[in-house]
Amino acid sequence: MKRINYDKLLMIPGPTMVSSEVLNTMAYPIIGHRTKEFGALLEDTVEKMKKVFITKGDVYIITGSGTAVMDMAIANTVNKGDKVLTICNGNFGERFSKIVEVYKGEVIKLEYSWGKGARPEDVKRILEENPDIKAVTVVHNETSTGVRNPIKDIGKIVKDYDALYIVDTISSLGGDYVDVDGFHIDICIAGSQKCLGAPPGISAISISEKAWDVINSTESKSFYLDIKAYRDRFESKKESPYTPAVSLIYALNKALDRVLEEGLENRVKRHERMARATVTGLEAMGIELFAEEWARSITVTSAIYPHGIEDKEFRKILSNKYNVVIAGGQGQVSGKIFRIGHMGEVKEIHILGTLAAIEMAFKELGYNTSGGVDAAKEILER
Amino acid sequence: MKRINYDKLLMIPGPTMVSSEVLNTMAYPIIGHRTKEFGALLEDTVEKMKKVFITKGDVYIITGSGTAVMDMAIANTVNKGDKVLTICNGNFGERFSKIVEVYKGEVIKLEYSWGKGARPEDVKRILEENPDIKAVTVVHNETSTGVRNPIKDIGKIVKDYDALYIVDTISSLGGDYVDVDGFHIDICIAGSQKCLGAPPGISAISISEKAWDVINSTESKSFYLDIKAYRDRFESKKESPYTPAVSLIYALNKALDRVLEEGLENRVKRHERMARATVTGLEAMGIELFAEEWARSITVTSAIYPHGIEDKEFRKILSNKYNVVIAGGQGQVSGKIFRIGHMGEVKEIHILGTLAAIEMAFKELGYNTSGGVDAAKEILER
């Protein structure tokens, strides 16, 4: 196997760069997962997660990717034939539809073109037409398109119906405004590896009282992802039912310390600033952004390739020559857009370096542009 | 939160102590999981896992605990009403029954008292009586009881029937003889955190051609654990369908290097030697072993508490005073037995230190014994 270059700038929308302080915790020896020490660590991590979610509800940490907790949310609430409204304007919104289908729920899709944001009034209309909808799913930050959906405003609507409000904040929590209780979110889903600045492999889920009422009367469709097993074991012993990823809990705990020390408000402002610099820089290069302006993500920026720039070639130059890794498009926009993640630990130098490398790669491929770095500097000097 | 003592001797049957060489890989920065570099790393890790499983079949690495892949094995092969023979002589054998029940399969239990090994002739009898059994599940090494089930001999029987042979080698692979193809195993399950000497949080699964025939004609009951998604993404791009635990893949890859460098045969012999020293030491102390002799595990030793020794008190002294962490009993033998894991990185000093600490803790609790360490030394001097 070729030697791995670990030191490229990781500007994809997750997993993101992890601070040395957090990485180094994983070099600590493994402790027993059925000891009081581990119980105290897990409880402490859960308490910190509650502060980041801003919830008085229950929170659990699951060993698995973000998709595991998306699955968990549905597997524990949806029965065969139950109607679920899935808001779809990207790959991850669609994923909820697919999960509901596995559990034989009836999917009612509210679809938008990729790049467009979801409209709360559309959600209201469908809920009015279908008062028996059991759950509404929405992805806060559509990593696949760079769109931010208005979860606060959608929450104001869903709270007046019986439906559970299930929100995926995998690529926003810790980088954008999320307030689980304030936004009336019943089940909130988070990943470790995005704005929280921890390594990938574990995920978190919050459960409201309204959600517990449904879960308690629903047979879990999954064994590994049966939320009741996590609740029972945590309540009785502060443990997880199955062996957890101990090293990743060390890392998440430390990453949450960093999030809380910076402060949620400051952190969101930093993400907004990085997004503004990125957007301004790209626009100064004459690049068209993909997401419509009112619904633009502050943790990932998506942009349309100028005519003649081939995605793979461009990203190869960026990665191999300039050591910057960004993402291409997924699904229907594959080859058409590129995405820059500015999540978690991302700071000024990373944005400036990335914009400069993009200018150089564009030039090499015949699209001669400049001014992106200067425009971004103006934003960052303020 | 109280400061964690990371440096206790971890003598539980998993997670186990991880070498510094492996731990330190997790301090490396995160790389993108959709890059060629990560693809090469994942493929290399899979190839090494195949060598350890001894299989020409397919192998996938899943982010999740061992239970996730136990679930995966059933969720992708068992339909409502399908008969599954579950061999149960401990907690983990029972777990397969519970998983089959979640997916509405019909469980046919072959039960033995805890501490007893499974008898191949019983498996043959039940398969003769129920030719429509779709799968047979067995746990190679019942971590909960210290019993090793004869998976080679059971495999010789199951291979002549239509049933799939599903074997959990979570706490044996890399420490005891496992030969997936040679033992006719259709689906083999492994965890990172036991005899392989890697940290917990990821698991592996092997799939035979016979298993693929069933999986291809079975609708997965899970989204996150749909094995076809893992196959399709790995075949097309050497990726996992959902974000993997990148740091844990670094660690597993390095741990597998250590396993293959030591050699599977040598490694099993070392585990046998550590088991013999442990067993001999305990017997010299007058302690009765829990597992019947012919079916005794070589990766975990279970023993019955002498009269008057209280489990929690005993293990508290061991942990707090002597920095040795061992396990108590689970379920029906909780408080009655203790378990010493000798898996993965365990060497002479760990066994000797543990036995000495046990003698001291016993003495403190009024059971005055000695000679355990001396007896173990005699074994280890050979």
Ramachandran angles phi, psi of A339, nearest 5°: -130, 135
Asked if A63 has any chain B CB less than 8 Å from its own CB, the reply is: yes
Q: In this complex, which of B226, B245, B327 lies closest to A201 when CB atoms are compared?
A: B245
B195 DSSP assignment: T
Residues B240 and B61: beta-carbon distance below 8 Å = yes
CATH code: domain A9-14+263-381 is 3.90.1150.10
Please answer whether residues A206 and A187 qualify as being in contact, where contact means their C-beta atoms are separated by less than 8 angstroms: yes
* Spatial distance between the Cα atoms of A195 and A201, rounded to a whole number of angstroms: 14
Q: Which residue of chain B has the CA closest to A101?
A: B223
Spatial CA neighbour of B313 closest among B364, B368, B350, B352? B364
Place of tokens 């729920």: A105
Burial A30-48 (b: 16+ CB within 10 A, else e): bbbbbbebbbebbebbbeb
pLDDT at site B268:
98
Fold agreement between B9-15+263-381 and B20-261: no
B37 interfaces chain A, CB cutoff of 8 Å: yes
A20-261 sits in which CATH class?
alpha beta
CA–CA dist B375, B347 (Å, integer): 16
At residue B382, the pLDDT reads 86
B165, B185 Cβ separation under 8 angstroms = yes
What's the Cα-to-Cα distance from A167 to each of A141, A154, A254, A275, A298, rounded to whole Å?
10, 10, 25, 22, 17
Contacts of A292 (CB under 8 A, 6+ apart): A115, A116, A117, A147
Cα–Cα distance for residue pair A105/A130, rounded to 1 Å: 14
For B188, the enclosing helix (H) or strand (E) is strand B187-191
Which residues are within 8 A (CB) of A86 and not within 5 positions of it... i.e. 6 or more apart?
A: A93, A94, A96, A97, A100, A107, A108, A109, A110, A136, A137
- Decide if A8 touches B, using CB distance below 8 A: yes
Q: What is the CATH number of domain B9-15+263-381?
A: 3.90.1150.10
B89 in A contact zone (CB under 8 Å): no
| Nearest residue, CB atoms, A224 vs list B4, B67, B193 | B67
Instruction: Supply the pLDDT for residue A1.
Output: 83
Residue contact A246–B201, C-beta within 8 A: yes
3-state secondary structure A290-338: CCCHHHECCCEEEEECCCCCCHHHHHHHHHHHCCEECEECCHHHCCCEE
Interface of B with A in 183-222 (CB under 8 A): 191, 193, 199-202, 220-222
Q: Which residues of B touch A67 (CB under 8 A)?
A: 223-224, 241-243
Q: Cβ separation of A243 and B319 shorter than 8 Å? A: no
- Closest of A321, A225, A234 to residue A59, by C-alpha: A234
> How many angstroms separate the CA of residue A22 from the nearest CA in chain B?
8
Arithmetic mean of pLDDT, A88-107: 98
Integer distance in angstroms from the first to the last C-alpha of chain B?
46
Query: d(Cα B102, Cα A245) in Å, to the nearest integer?
Result: 24
Q: Give the residue-averaged pLDDT of A220-249.
A: 98
Check if the beta carbon of residue B285 is closer than 8 Å to that of residue B356.
Answer: no
Find, in chain B, the residue whose alpha carbon is nearest to that of A191: B243
Confidence of residue B139 (pLDDT cuts 50, 70, 90): very high
Q: Do B1 and A44 touch (CB under 8 A)?
A: yes
* Cα separations in angstroms, A19 against A26, A136, A161, A198, B122: 12, 35, 42, 8, 56
Residues of B in contact with A191 (CB under 8 A): 243
A337-341/A300-304 β-pairing: antiparallel
Helix (H) or strand (E) holding B106: strand B106-111
pLDDT band at B2 (very low <50, low <70, confident <90, very high): confident
CA distance A319 to A336: 18
Domain positions in chain B are: 9-15+263-381, 20-261
Whether ipTM > 0.85 holds is yes
- Nearest residue on chain B to A170, alpha-carbon basis: B243
Q: Is B35 on the interface with A (CB under 8 A)?
A: yes
Interface test with B, best of A243, A318, A340 (most B CBs within 10 A): A243
Among residues A233, A66, A4, which one has the least CA distance to residue B243?
Answer: A66
| Contact across the interface for B201 and A63, Cβ inside 8 Å | yes
Distance CA B41, CA B37 (A): 6
Range B305-320 average pLDDT: 97
Mean predicted confidence (pLDDT) in A153-169: 98
**Residues B200, A14: C-beta atoms closer than 8 Å:** no
A382 falls in which pLDDT band (50, 70, 90)? confident
**Band of residue B1 on the pLDDT scale cut at 50, 70, 90:** confident
Give the one of A15, A37, A71 whose C-beta lies nearest to B33's C-beta.
A15
List the Cα angle B76/B82/B83 in 5-degree steps: 115
Q: Return the closest-CA partner of residue B326 out of B336, B309, B314.
A: B314
- Residue numbers in B near A41 (CB within 8 A): 1, 4
Cβ within 8 Å of B, A 215-234: 220-226
Whole-angstrom distance between the N-terminal and C-terminal Cα of chain A? 46
Cβ within 8 Å, pair B40-A1:
yes
- Chain B residue numbers with beta carbons less than 8 Å from the beta carbon of A248 are 201, 245, 247-248
Question: Collapsing DSSP states into helix, strand and coil, what is residue B139?
Answer: strand
Nearest CA to CA, how far is A374 from chain B (Å)?
28
Task: Quote the pLDDT of residue B269.
Answer: 98
Q: What is the mean pLDDT of chain A?
A: 97
Instruction: Give yes or no for B65 touching A (CB within 8 A).
Output: yes
What does the pLDDT look like over B7-53, one tens digit per residue? 999 999 999 999 999 999 999 999 999 999 999 999 999 999 999 99
Distance of residue A32 Cα from the nearest chain B Cα, in angstroms = 7
What is the length of chain A? Answer: 382
pLDDT tens-place string over residues A267-296: 999 999 999 999 999 999 999 999 999 999
**Strand B106-111 versus strand B83-88 pairing type:** parallel
Residue A233 has a pLDDT of 98
Mean pLDDT of A258-265: 98
Q: In whole angstroms, how far apart are CA A348 and each of A371, A377, B300?
A: 16, 9, 52
Q: How confident is the model at residue A117 (pLDDT cuts 50, 70, 90)?
A: very high
In whole angstroms, what is the distance from residue A372 CA to residue A376 CA?
6
